[in-house]
Amino acid sequence: MGRVIYLDHASTTPTDPEVVEVMRPWLAEQFGNPSTVYSLGVAAAKALQDARESIAACIGAEPEEIYFTSGGTEADNWAILGTADAHQKKGRHLITSTIEHHAVLEPMEYLEKHGCEITHVPVDAGGLVDPDDVRRALRPDTVLVSIMHANNEIGTIEPIDEIGRVTREAGVLFHTDAVQTVGKLPLDVNELGVDLLSMSAHKFYGPKGVGLLYLRKRTRVSPLLHGGNQENGRRAGTHNVPGIVGMAKALELATARMAEDGVREAVLRNRLWEGLSANIEAVHLNGDMAHRLPSNLNVRLDGIEGESMILMLDMEGICVSSGSACTTGSLDPSHVLLALGIPAEHAHGSLRITLGRSTTAEDIDFFIKVFPPIVARLREMSPVWCANCACKQRN
Ligand SMILES: *Cc1c(COP(=O)(O)O)cnc(C)c1O
């Protein structure tokens, strides 16, 4: 395989070599179970505690408020199902948005099938939630508001701190899926005003299959996994010690280089957008540009399919995504793009390009060079686009 230009960092990131290094002993000779009392286990328990303290410090939390999970999906499911279960006496109404990740939308749908009521607040054409919509959706029986920090498809950053003020005033628990922002934006659970927060290591150059749920002190949430007494009896299962150690290192590295990476990626992202809009006709931006992750670009091209663009870019060694990786293989247009008011036939022609640490100006320029001819070829073959051309010629 030739050189790969990886522009799909929102779906996963390569594990940082320094992270791999700190994980290695915990996979090999330091394999003890942290729940045991002999030295081998105690060493693992100490590594867990160090990781817990280091991660807590990065997000403004207390170490006792960190609960390790198998990733973002488990953290989101636990936050939603666990809160709904523990607060049934207060009510069975939950609020979320129309653009959440499936790891939030699906447990919400599960609850709906089991007697809960779910309100999905809308987003504007740029993908932003209005905190006043959240305020208006609140009811005396509302037990949880769950709104993502930044969207994984269009990169829009939601006004979490403002929503946090709304939920706090109302005395309602507030969860945010921060999987796309941890390690990318400065983040403090108190400034955001959240009671629960999900993160996942593989989105910030850590290993896959490990994440956590931040649970503010005294927040009642039923366990999702029942078994051993790990994590204060709130999340059973032998700890993924190498993964947790790796996640702590990854977050430490990401926090240290966050500001610099963000500026560099935003410059490259803007260069990409300028290059594409100057060289391709009928290309549109999906999502608000001002409130957006520096690494995200999501564009829509009239007359062609996202999947065919992905395959042709792959032949040039470029990895990008059409919707979220989870919807790849399904023919449904992205629920996020539909929520912005984009018609289904246009949503299909979208491409998500997410930059990262390895992205160079040469990569971006190569993309700008190879992509316009791909679009032209696909449009030549497209019945939809040809109809447009004919129509234009006639006028
Ligand atoms: C990737 C992602 C998840 C799922 O996290 P996993 O660790 O892959 O299970 C949840 N929410 C968002 C916003 C994501 O981008």
CATH number at residue 179: 3.40.640.10
Mean pLDDT of 255-276: 98
Identify the burial level of 384 via C-beta atoms within 10 angstroms of its C-beta, where 0-12 means exposed, 13-18 middle and 19 or more buried.
Answer: middle
Q: What sections of the chain are H helices per DSSP?
A: 17-27, 39-59, 72-86, 102-113, 131-137, 160-170, 189-192, 230-233, 241-279, 306-315, 335-339, 344-347, 361-381, 383-394
Q: Is 176 in the pocket of ligand 1 (CB under 6 A)?
A: no
Per the CB < 8 A criterion, the answer to whether 143 and 84 are in contact is yes
Q: Whose CA is nearest to atom 14 of ligand 1?
A: 179
- Bridge partners of 96, per DSSP, are 120, 146
- Domain final residue, candidates 225, 241, 256: 256
Q: What is the CB neighbour count within 10 angstroms for residue 80?
A: 32
If asked whether residues 228 and 285 sit together in one domain, one would say no
Q: Above pLDDT 90, what percent of the chain?
A: 92
If asked whether residues 111 and 208 sit together in one domain, one would say yes
DSSP state of 342: -
Phi, psi of 242 (to 5 degrees): -60, -40
Separation between Cα atoms, residue 230 and residue 238, nearest integer Å: 7
If asked whether residues 195 and 263 sit together in one domain, one would say no
If asked whether residues 252 and 282 sit together in one domain, one would say no
Separation between Cα atoms, residue 156 and residue 286, nearest integer Å: 10
Straight-line distance from the first to the last Cα atom of the chain, in angstroms, rounded to the nearest whole number: 47
23 falls in which pLDDT band (50, 70, 90)? very high
Burial 93-119 (b: 16+ CB within 10 A, else e): bbbbbbbbbebbbbbbeebeeeebebb
DSSP state of 130: P
pLDDT of residue 325: 44
Phi, psi of 170 (to 5 degrees): -85, -10
If asked whether residues 211 and 270 sit together in one domain, one would say no
pLDDT of residue 4: 95
Structural domain boundaries enclosing 222: 17-256
Q: Is 179 in the pocket of ligand 1 (CB under 6 A)?
A: yes
Q: Is 9 in the pocket of ligand 1 (CB under 6 A)?
A: no
Average pLDDT, the chain: 95
Q: Is 356 in the pocket of ligand 1 (CB under 6 A)?
A: no
- Domain final residue, candidates 256, 283, 314: 256
Q: What is the 3-state secondary structure (H, E, C) of 97-126?
A: ECCCCHHHHHHHHHHHHCCCEEEEECCCCC
Whole-angstrom CA distances from 341 to 99, 118, 330 are 12, 21, 20
If asked whether residues 33 and 94 sit together in one domain, one would say yes
Which structure tokens are listed for 288?
Answer: 């608000």
If asked whether residues 189 and 224 sit together in one domain, one would say yes
* Strand ranges of the sheet holding 296-301, from the earlier edge strand across to the other edge: 283-285, 296-301, 350-354
Q: Whose CA is nearest to atom 10 of ligand 1?
A: 72
| CATH number for 302 | 3.90.1150.10
pLDDT of residue 267: 98
Mutational pocket test of ligand 1: of 8, 100, 101, 244, the residue with most ligand atoms within 8 Å of the beta carbon: 101
Q: Whose CA is nearest to atom 6 of ligand 1?
A: 72
Mean pLDDT of 339-346: 93
Distance (angstroms) between ligand 1 centre and the Cα of 181 equals 11
Closest atom of ligand 1 relative to the 70 alpha carbon: 7
pLDDT of residue 227: 98
Mean pLDDT of 167-193: 98
State the pTM of this model: 0.96
Number of domains in the chain: 2
Distance (angstroms) between ligand 1 centre and the Cα of 305 equals 25
If asked whether residues 188 and 87 sit together in one domain, one would say yes
- Domain final residue, candidates 209, 234, 256: 256
Is 254's pLDDT higher than 90?
yes
Phi, psi of 212 (to 5 degrees): -160, 160
332 falls in which pLDDT band (50, 70, 90)? confident
If asked whether residues 145 and 289 sit together in one domain, one would say no
391 falls in which pLDDT band (50, 70, 90)? very low
Which structure tokens are listed for 305?
Answer: 């399919």
Identify the burial level of 121 via C-beta atoms within 10 angstroms of its C-beta, where 0-12 means exposed, 13-18 middle and 19 or more buried.
Answer: buried
pLDDT of residue 392: 45
pLDDT of residue 159: 98
- Give the residue numbers annotated as catalytic, written as ranges: 326
DSSP state of 327: G
Distance (angstroms) between ligand 1 centre and the Cα of 43 equals 30
Mean pLDDT of 147-166: 98
If asked whether residues 171 and 270 sit together in one domain, one would say no
pLDDT of residue 393: 40
Q: Above pLDDT 70, what percent of the chain?
A: 95
3-state helix, strand, coil in the chain (%, to 5): 45, 15, 40
The sign of the CA dihedral 4, 9, 10, 15 is: positive
Q: Give the CA-trace dihedral at 360, 364, 369, 373, to 10 degrees.
A: 140
pLDDT of residue 323: 62
If asked whether residues 28 and 172 sit together in one domain, one would say yes
If asked whether residues 278 and 182 sit together in one domain, one would say no
328 falls in which pLDDT band (50, 70, 90)? low
303 phi-psi bin (left φ>0, alpha ψ -120 to 50, beta other): left
